[in-house]
Every structure is written in C-alpha cells, then in structure tokens.
Structure 1
Amino acid sequence: MASVLITGATGLVGGHLLRMMALEPRITQITAATRRPLQEVPDGVINPHAPQLTDALATVTSPVDIVFCCLGTTRREAGSKEAFVHADYTLVVDTALTGQRLGARHMLVVSAIGANARSPFFYNRVKGEMEEALIAQNWPHLTIARPSMLLGDRENRRLNESLMAPLFTFLPGNWKSIDARDVAKAMLIDALSPAKQGLNIITSAKLREMATGQA
C-alpha cells in the first residue's frame, strides 16, 4: 500500500497516470498538486491548487511514500527561456523537495530522450540539469523516464509535435515515438514493483516494453 504525491496531473502523461492510480487498489491516497483545479477529481484524490504550484505544494502535510513529477513544457509554450527553466527545472526540484519533506523514498520523473546537462541544445541541457539536481538530492530510489516524442491528445496541440510525430513513428529503438499512456503505465509499474535502490534510468524503448508486458 502506498500514498502518492503527483505534479503535472493536468498534462499528457500525468493525466493518464492520475486516472490509472485512481483505479489501483495498492495506492491508498493520491495528492495531486496543481496550478488550476482539476476538471474531474477521481474518488480518493486530494487536489490542493494555487496559481503558483510551489504554494500548492506548501499546503501538503500528509506523509507520502512515492512522488511522481510529470511536469513538462516547451520554450514556445512557456513564453521565454526563464519561464521554461521555472517549469521544467525549478518546479520539478520543488516537487522533489516536497516529497522528501513528506517522507517519500521513491521519486519518479518524466525527463526526455537526449537529456544532458552539457548539451549545446537548450531543451536537452535544462532536462539534464534537472536530472543532475535530483540525483544530488540522494534519493534512496530515483527513477528517471526518458521518453521520445510523446503521442496523445493534448488540450493545446504543439505544432512541432504535430508535424514531426508521423516521422518519429518510423524511427527505431529509443527514437521511436511513444504513447503517453505507455509512459504513465510503465512508471506506475516501476513505482509498485519490489523495492529497489539507487538510480534507475528507463529509456523510451524500455518504457514501451514495460507497458506492453514484454520486459
């Protein structure tokens, strides 16, 4: 049995994950901290919300065992480099710190293929810096999911993904696009698997294998 904290529940992966967890009998409590209220709150889900996600996280006091962070945007959506860093680095780190404050021992985060703190590409570099920041927190168990291009129906479609998604369906291995539902399913499987220790990086191909029962 586990109590869970999740951020990013209004997003593509997080939305799938929230619905899956609400149906999972091994999860006893779900706290979904968001900036805006959830349109539909599944039974048993607590939804603290505030215009600033950090403020919503500050109100959470109940102990948790597992933390999921499914936050993610693009520079175009964020509006500036600074806003992107806030969403994809600062708020992710805040989620992790909140989890540690509440006693969690397992952190799972959605990163991205190509994440590298020394990458010349801004997006990949920020994702890599985020990963390094979480690793430096010394989690007993840290799971980093690195999916390729995500497939699924977003509230606001991303132009680049709409144009590139058909191409990525034909790429091999880790570069092949992946359904957001499969990412969520694989993360939940990992979270509820027998306890592990240390860092676990799950590639996009591995996420797909786990979700389809081939792992």
Structure 2
Amino acid sequence: MTHVLITGATGLVGGHLLRMMVQEPRIIHITAATRRPLQDIPAKVSNPYDPQLTDALAQVTAPVDIVFCCLGTTRREAGSKEAFVHADYTLVVDTALTGQRLGASQMLVVSAMGANARSPFFYNRVKGEMEEALIAQQWPRLTIARPSMLLGDRENRRLNESLLAPLFGFLPGNWKSIDARDVARAMLNDALAPATQGVNILSSAKLREMAARQA
C-alpha cells in the first residue's frame, strides 16, 4: 500500500491527480502540501499549508513512498523572472528533497515539452535546469512528464493558451495539445506500474497514448 506526497494539487494537472488518487485503493494516504488550504478534504488526505510552500513541506514528517510534483506557472503569472525560477525550479527541488527526507524512492514531475538546460528560451531553460537538478539527486526511479499545451479549466485562464489551444489541437505528435486529465492519468498509471528503474521521460504523445489505454 502506498503513501504519497504531492505539491501542485491546486493546479490544473495536480487537481485531477489528487482526485484520481483519492479514488485509487492502492494509495492509502496522500499528503498534499499547498500554499492555501484545500476545501472538502477527504479522510485519506492531510493538508499542511503555508503561503511559503517550503514551510508547508517542512511540516511533513510521515514517511512517503512516492512524490508527485505538479507545480508550474508562467513568467507573466509569477510576475518576474526571479519569481518564476522560485516556483518552477526552487520549489520543485524542495519538493524532491522533502520526499528524499521522508524516504521516497520514486518521484514524478510535470515539466514541459522543449525543456532544455541549454535552450536560448528562458522558460525552456529553467525547466531543463529543473530536470537536471532532479536527475542529479539520483532517484532510484524518476519520471519526467513533458506535456505540450495543456487543456482544461484553470482557476485563472492564461490568455496565450486560450488563443493557441484551438491551433495546437490540430498539430501532430508531441505538438498536439493534451488534456490535463490525461497527463494526470498517465502519471498515476506510471507511478503504480511495475518498477522501471532510472530516469523515464514521457513525451506528450506518450502521455496521450498511456492515458488512452486507461480510459
């Protein structure tokens, strides 16, 4: 039976993932560390929260088996490059370190298509640096999900995604937009599948394929 730590549970992918895990009998407890309190918390979920997410993570002491990190923002939403790096790099690494402190041997993280630490594009570069930092932690099992443009109802709509989503729906392969629910479904399936050691990178097309098999 599995104990899980998740950050990003109030976001698009993380929200779907949390609801799926609540219904998954193989997961017996979920610790969802958030900046603001969750509403209508199920019995199998504990919710340490603090406006400083790192402080919420510091409250967690119970052992966990698997860590999910679904944190992600944009430079526009974050307000500055520094704030974006804090949200999409520092807090992701803090989540991973917390998981290792609590004994987890497996981590799954939402990154982005195009993540590359040597990219000339700021967003992709930060995502790539985040991935490299997690790989350097030498997790026995690390899964990196790289979705294309996410579809779904966000609490705060992103203008670029609203404008471009129809176009991305017609693109082929990895470029085709993907429903956030499908990303969550694929990640949960990967987490509970028989162990594959090392680093596993799931492209957007692969995520869509995995989710379709579970539908």
What residue in structure 1 maps to residue 33 of structure 2? Answer: 33
What residue in structure 2 maps to residue 163 of structure 1? Answer: 163
What residue in structure 1 maps to residue 69 of structure 2? Answer: 69
Distance 1:149 1:127 in 2: 15
CA contact (8 A) 1:67 1:107 kept: yes
Q: Deviations over 1:96-121 (max 9, x none)?
A: 00000000000000000000000000
Deviation at 1:196, TM superposition (A): 1.4
Distance 2:196 2:97 in 1: 20
What residue in structure 2 maps to residue 111 of structure 1? Answer: 111
Distance 1:40 1:182 in 2: 24
Distance 1:6 1:100 in 2: 13
What residue in structure 2 maps to residue 57 of structure 1? Answer: 57
What residue in structure 1 maps to residue 151 of structure 2? Answer: 151
Distance 1:88 1:152 in 2: 20
Q: Deviations over 1:112-157 (max 9, x none)?
A: 0000000000000000000000000000000000000000000000
Q: Deviations over 1:164-212 (max 9, x none)?
A: 0000000000000000000000000000001110000000000000001
Q: Spell out structure 1 runs of 4+ moving beyond 4 A.
A: none
Amino acid at match of 1:60: V
Deviation at 1:42, TM superposition (A): 2.4
CA contact (8 A) 1:19 1:42 kept: no
Deviation at 1:41, TM superposition (A): 1.5
Identity of aligned residues (%): 86
**C-alpha RMSD of matched pairs (Å):** 0.7
Amino acid at match of 2:139: W
Distance 2:205 2:90 in 1: 28
What residue in structure 2 maps to residue 197 of structure 1? Answer: 197
Distance 1:208 1:32 in 2: 25
SS in 2 for 1:37: coil
Amino acid at match of 2:3: S
Distance 2:145 2:42 in 1: 25
Amino acid at match of 1:134: L
Deviation at 1:39, TM superposition (A): 2.1
What residue in structure 2 maps to residue 20 of structure 1? Answer: 20
Q: Deviations over 1:4-42 (max 9, x none)?
A: 000000000000000000000000110000000012312
Structure 1: segments with no counterpart, 5+ residues = none
The number of aligned residues is: 214
